């Protein structure tokens, strides 16, 4: 197996503003979110849904929901957007509406596409470094996996930034664990690898972990991230009860389940979450209620801790 260093192109500096005229979204019915303070850092985690044949003819194809996804994302006024299931078609459309954002993705397949993409405001942040690794016993080995994981490799994408407004550093980790009902041992092992990387970072650097865990908080995958010194931003503000599903199969409120939050935003003690939201915006088109993805997006707003750990 070829080495990560030889094949992987872990650093992508997308000059999203270059040669792009700003194209604002039209007047939108999606309510605009307002941040709590000018220095707050707003982060969105968005599983935006792969381009899959089973969506053809359903009205849930990317071509039919991309304007709604755009409007929902723009309404968040986010400094950082962490995507899962992101592909070139998503980039080709969304980059036109985020011209002041840079992008950092991670190559995790032979198609060369950048997965677990992170958009970040270049007005707010300066990029210090960007890297990633595979969630396996040999993280540096290209496309490596655990034996009990599916063939598709999983990874984390890490972006290290400097906040131009406050002078503080900020580290973003974006990930997506294996799917499938029988894959919990793999998810737990993948989270363990990520947790080991998290523990090696200086606690004084504010850090945020986002991702689709494909499992709820009752499993070791979730507990591993907490044990690395991270707090689930939603439970920090709303309590430990499961707030309900975040994967909804494009059915939204009609999905009908009362539990099942599998998408998360965590932060370490150098940040204090002040606002969190499970974003449930939708739009009725031709008499059918549509959603930007088969997952609800998440948002969180942070203040830097006044006393560093």
Give the CATH number of the domain where residue 165 resides.
Answer: 3.60.10.10
Question: What is the pLDDT at residue 150?
Answer: 76
- Residue 267 covered by a domain: yes
What is the per-residue pLDDT across 134-190, written as a single tens digit (0 to 9) for each?
999 999 999 999 988 877 899 999 999 999 999 999 999 999 999 998 999 999 999
First to last CA, the chain: 41
- Residue 309 covered by a domain: no
Question: What is the pLDDT at residue 155?
Answer: 97
What's the pLDDT band for 27 if we cut at 50, 70, 90? confident
If one counts the domains in the chain, the total is 1
Question: What is the pLDDT at residue 151?
Answer: 76
Point out the least confidently predicted range of 24-33, 54-63, 198-207.
24-33
Does the structure show a pLDDT above 70 at 303? yes
Question: What is the pLDDT at residue 258?
Answer: 86
CA distance 155 to 76: 26
Does the structure show a pLDDT above 90 at 15? no
Residues 41 and 302 sit within 8 Å (Cβ to Cβ): yes
- Residue 80 covered by a domain: yes
**Phi-psi domain of 101 (left: phi exceeds 0; alpha: psi -120 through 50; beta: other):** beta
- Going by DSSP bridges, is the β-strand pair 288-290/283-285 parallel, antiparallel, or unpaired? antiparallel
pTM over 0.75: yes
More confident residue, 20 or 169: 169
What is the per-residue pLDDT across 35-48, written as a single tens digit (0 to 9) for each?
989 899 999 999 99
Question: What is the pLDDT at residue 1?
Answer: 44
Question: What is the pLDDT at residue 26?
Answer: 54
Task: Compute the average pLDDT of residues 251-255.
Answer: 95
- 3-state SS, residue 126: strand
| Cα–Cα nearest to 305, from 268, 265, 272 | 272
Does the structure show a pLDDT above 80 at 307? no
Range of the domain at 72: 4-304
At 111, give phi and psi (nearest 5°).
Answer: -80, -10
Tell me the CA distances in angstroms from 224 to 63, 140, 159, 274, 280, one per residue in order: 38, 21, 21, 23, 28
What's the pLDDT band for 63 if we cut at 50, 70, 90? very high
At 202, give phi and psi (nearest 5°).
Answer: -60, 130
Question: What is the pLDDT at residue 6?
Answer: 39
What's the pLDDT band for 272 if we cut at 50, 70, 90? very high
Does the structure show a pLDDT above 50 at 19? no
What is the per-residue pLDDT across 72-103, written as a single tens digit (0 to 9) for each?
999 999 999 999 999 999 999 999 999 999 99
Compute how many other C-beta atoms are within 10 angstroms of the C-beta atom of residue 34: 9
Give percent above pLDDT 70 in the chain: 91
What is the per-residue pLDDT across 218-229, written as a single tens digit (0 to 9) for each?
999 999 999 999
Does the structure show a pLDDT above 50 at 293? yes
Residues 173 and 210 sit within 8 Å (Cβ to Cβ): yes
């Amino acid at each position: 197996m070829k080495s990560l260093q030889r094949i992987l192109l872990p650093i992508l500096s997308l000059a999203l503003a270059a040669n792009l005229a700003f194209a604002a979204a039209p007047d939108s019915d999606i309510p605009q979110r307002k941040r709590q303070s000018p220095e707050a850092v707003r982060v969105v985690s968005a599983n935006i849904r792969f381009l899959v044949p089973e969506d053809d003819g359903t009205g849930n194809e990317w071509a039919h929901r991309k304007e709604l996804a755009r409007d929902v994302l723009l309404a968040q006024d986010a400094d950082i957007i962490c995507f899962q299931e992101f592909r070139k078609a998503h980039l080709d459309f969304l980059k036109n509406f985020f011209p002041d954002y840079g992008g950092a993705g991670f190559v995790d397949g032979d198609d060369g596409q950048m997965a677990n993409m992170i958009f970040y405001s270049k007005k707010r942040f300066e990029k210090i470094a960007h890297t990633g690794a595979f969630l396996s016993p040999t993280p540096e080995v290209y496309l490596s996996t655990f034996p009990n994981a599916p063939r598709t490799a999983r990874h984390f994408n890490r972006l290290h930034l400097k906040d131009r407004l406050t002078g503080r550093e900020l580290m973003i980790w974006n990930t997506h664990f294996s799917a499938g009902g029988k894959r919990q041992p793999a998810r737990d092992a993948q989270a363990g690898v990520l947790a080991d990387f998290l523990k090696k970072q200086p606690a004084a650097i504010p850090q945020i972990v986002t991702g689709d865990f494909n499992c709820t908080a009752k499993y070791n995958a979730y507990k591993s991230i907490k044990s690395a010194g991270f707090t689930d931003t939603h439970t920090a503000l709303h309590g430990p009860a499961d707030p309900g599903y975040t994967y909804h199969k494009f059915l939204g409120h009609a999905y009908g389940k009362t539990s099942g939050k599998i998408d998360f935003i965590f932060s370490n003690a150098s940040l204090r979450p002040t606002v969190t939201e499970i974003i449930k915006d939708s739009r009725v088109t031709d008499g059918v209620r549509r959603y930007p993805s088969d997952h609800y997006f998440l948002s969180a707003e942070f203040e830097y801790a006044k006393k560093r750990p």
